[in-house]
């Protein structure tokens, strides 16, 4: 069924992704889908060992599941993966009037921002920052040290004085970062 | 310009390696230190999550481990539809060839093999015949290194066929997973003729029992060499996964054997979670042939200062190098069970070491 949706999309909205890339990702999707019901659950993702040992593994998995849902179909899978397509691919499509593509620099940063911003209020609060920090460092750092890291980070990024990091402030902090290289996955043809 | 040259060379090497490894995506093996620390001193940066999120997405698109638990993807098709993962129509001539291939394999090769197989089924000593029934073209190399009595033979594991192939060139005692069904019947009939050691996978956790039995066996120099597959499960023959240290702790001489199947003629890998033994046997009999190379490698012993894990890795490297397979530190048991929590903790610890210097919080350089 998902393949049909894909074919429909390709015919009427040709994407700048090659046919073979879609097919390979589809076979990847089916190999992850142990239940063989055309959708992936969180457990299916957690079965990937390299993802299970990633400190941010759970957050990354959450990014695939829309609010309140437990299953993701192939279209959703591709949509989320699309954030990591290289930015240079967009030159091929040259669609000036369409919506901004998912893998633009701005949308990539927005995706990264949402990894921090759990409650989706467009601000990274001190608590949200602490949560992510704790996930990354495990038990190796005390609460106090972690608290001071969080405070310092907010202090340096915060420009409007609300003790939280908004998306604009986030973008400013990352303006010198090569987002293209750090958030892109290249396919082998 | 030197840097540009180096960059180009690196890209070419990477492209070639990726082509050989059959991955979907291009993976750059940068370390956490390079990506996260960059040019600043150790301290946390909002951008640090980019490294982890990229690694996570790379793992989702294509990971090194789960890839080994399903059949290898071939670079060029061998006219078996089961290996044709990315179907696209090339030409009608190819379709005609493929249809002819089907007719030959299903209507000619298979019935001949079934007839052969049924008549030899009960006689396990006819392992050599069994190999020939599957049109097994097995090349044995370095026969002078064949395992001797009282030694332990270790090999990489792809399917129960490995046993058949090795048994056709020598007699072994086996250590293995007790199976039900047809394979179980065969195992039981083997037990009557030779001394074998069979376990339940759950019983394998009782390592002392395993070690004791192996030790007793090799102490008796008149007993046949014991054949062990230290990976503990079938892997798809493109890489060698973690060798469990149990068999390397008991002392004794280890005779490594490398078994490499040629994937162009047929897929020998038994995906036990997907196919039963009967389905697997049917698949084998409808392939072109089973072609494999077996290298007997010189015997190795554990050195005095060496621990079992290091020795196991040494043997693993030798086998992988001979068979042309890559070496993976991951446990083959991940086919069935989850990864250990401690590996995640290692990653977290590693990140801490970069971010925190000397136990202090570091200075406040965000850029």
The reply to whether residue B26 touches residue A52, judged by beta carbons under 8 angstroms, is no
Nearest CA in chain B to A150: B44
Nearest CA in chain A to B336: A47
Instruction: Establish if B181 touches chain A: CB-CB under 8 angstroms.
Output: no
For residue B295, the model assigns a pLDDT of 92
The reply to whether residue A185 touches residue B49, judged by beta carbons under 8 angstroms, is no
In whole numbers, what is the pLDDT of chain B averaged over residues? Answer: 76
Strand partners, B25: A187
H/E stretch holding B259 reads strand B254-261
Instruction: Establish if B348 touches chain A: CB-CB under 8 angstroms.
Output: yes
For residue B317, the model assigns a pLDDT of 92
The pTM (predicted TM-score) of the whole model is 0.64
Residue B242 has pLDDT above 70, yes or no: yes
Residues of chain B with Cβ-Cβ distance to A116 below 8 Å are 46, 49
Residue B121 has pLDDT above 80, yes or no: no
Q: pLDDT (tens digit, 9 = 90+) per residue, B324-360? A: 898 888 887 788 778 888 888 888 888 888 777 544 4
For residue B7, the model assigns a pLDDT of 62
Please state whether beta strands B173-177 and B197-199 pair in parallel, antiparallel, or not at all (unpaired): parallel
What CA–CA distances, in Å, run from B81 to B114, B178, B305?
Answer: 21, 32, 51
What CA–CA distances, in Å, run from B309 to A180, B244, B319?
Answer: 41, 8, 15
For residue B193, the model assigns a pLDDT of 53
This complex has an ipTM of: 0.82
Mean pLDDT across B178-184: 71
The reply to whether residue B63 touches residue A177, judged by beta carbons under 8 angstroms, is no
pLDDT band at B6 (very low <50, low <70, confident <90, very high): low
pLDDT band at A42 (very low <50, low <70, confident <90, very high): very high
Residue B361 has pLDDT above 80, yes or no: no
Contact B226, B153 (CB under 8 A): yes
The reply to whether residue B347 touches residue A55, judged by beta carbons under 8 angstroms, is yes
Residues of chain A with Cβ-Cβ distance to B45 below 8 Å are 153
For the ranges A104-108, B40-44, B151-155, B313-317, the lowest mean pLDDT is seen at B40-44
The reply to whether residue A140 touches residue B352, judged by beta carbons under 8 angstroms, is yes
pLDDT band at B9 (very low <50, low <70, confident <90, very high): low
B138 or A62, which is more confident = A62
For the ranges A51-55, B138-142, B193-197, the lowest mean pLDDT is seen at B193-197
Q: Of B214, B194, B190, B195, nearest to B204 (Cα)?
A: B214
For residue B11, the model assigns a pLDDT of 63
């Amino acid at each position: 069924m998902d393949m049909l949706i894909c074919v429909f999309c390709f015919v009427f909205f040709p994407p700048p992704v090659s046919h073979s890339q879609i097919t390979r990702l589809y076979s990847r999707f089916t190999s992850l889908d142990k239940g063989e019901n055309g959708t992936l659950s969180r457990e299916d993702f957690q079965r990937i060992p390299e993802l299970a040992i990633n400190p941010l593994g759970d957050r990354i998995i959450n990014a695939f599941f829309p609010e309140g849902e437990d299953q993701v179909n192939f279209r959703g899978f591709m949509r989320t993966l699309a954030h990591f397509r290289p930015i240079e691919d967009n030159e091929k499509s040259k669609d000036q009037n369409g919506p901004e593509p998912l893998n633009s620099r701005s949308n990539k940063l927005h995706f990264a921002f949402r990894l921090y911003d759990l409650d989706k209020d467009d601000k990274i609060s001190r608590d949200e920052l602490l949560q992510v920090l704790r996930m990354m460092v495990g038990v190796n750092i005390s609460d106090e040290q972690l608290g001071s890291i969080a405070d310092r980070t907010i202090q340096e990024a915060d420009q409007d004085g609300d003790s939280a990091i908004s998306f604009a402030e986030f973008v400013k902090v990352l303006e010198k970062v090569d987002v293209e290289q750090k958030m892109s996955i290249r396919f082998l043809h | 310009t030197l840097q540009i040259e180096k960059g180009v060379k690196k890209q070419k090497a990477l492209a070639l390696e990726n082509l050989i490894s059959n991955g979907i995506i291009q993976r750059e093996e940068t370390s956490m230190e390079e990506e996260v620390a960059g040019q600043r001193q150790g301290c946390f940066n909002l951008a640090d999550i980019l490294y982890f999120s990229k690694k996570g997405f790379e793992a989702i698109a294509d990971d090194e481990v789960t890839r080994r638990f399903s059949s290898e993807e071939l670079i060029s098709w061998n006219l078996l539809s089961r290996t044709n993962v990315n179907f696209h129509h090339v030409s009608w001539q190819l379709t005609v060839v493929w249809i002819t291939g089907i007719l030959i394999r299903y209507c000619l090769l298979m019935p001949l093999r079934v007839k052969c197989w049924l008549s030899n089924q009960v006689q396990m000593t006819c392992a050599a015949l069994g190999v020939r029934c599957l049109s097994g073209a097995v090349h044995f190399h370095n026969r002078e290194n064949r395992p001797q009595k009282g030694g332990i033979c270790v090999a990489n594991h792809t399917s129960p066929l490995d046993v058949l192939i090795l048994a056709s060139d020598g007699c072994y005692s086996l250590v293995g997973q007790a199976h039900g069904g047809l394979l179980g019947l065969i195992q039981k009939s083997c037990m009557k003729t030779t001394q074998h050691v069979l376990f339940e996978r759950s019983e394998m956790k009782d390592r002392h029992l395993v070690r004791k039995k192996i030790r007793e066996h090799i102490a008796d120099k008149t007993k046949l060499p014991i054949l062990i597959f230290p990976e503990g499960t079938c892997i798809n023959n493109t890489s060698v996964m973690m060798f469990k240290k149990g068999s390397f702790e008991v002392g004794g001489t280890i005779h490594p054997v490398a078994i490499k199947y040629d994937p162009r003629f047929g897929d020998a890998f038994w995906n036990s979670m997907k196919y039963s033994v009967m389905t697997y046997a049917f698949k084998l009999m409808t392939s072109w042939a089973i072609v494999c190379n077996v290298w007997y490698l010189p015997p190795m012993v554990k050195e005095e200062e060496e621990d079992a894990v290091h020795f196991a890795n040494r043997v693993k490297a030798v086998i992988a190098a001979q068979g042309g397979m890559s070496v993976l530190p991951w446990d083959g048991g991940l086919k069935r069970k989850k990864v250990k929590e401690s590996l995640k903790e290692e990653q977290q610890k590693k990140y801490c070491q970069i971010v925190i210097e000397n136990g202090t919080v570091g200075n406040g350089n965000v850029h």
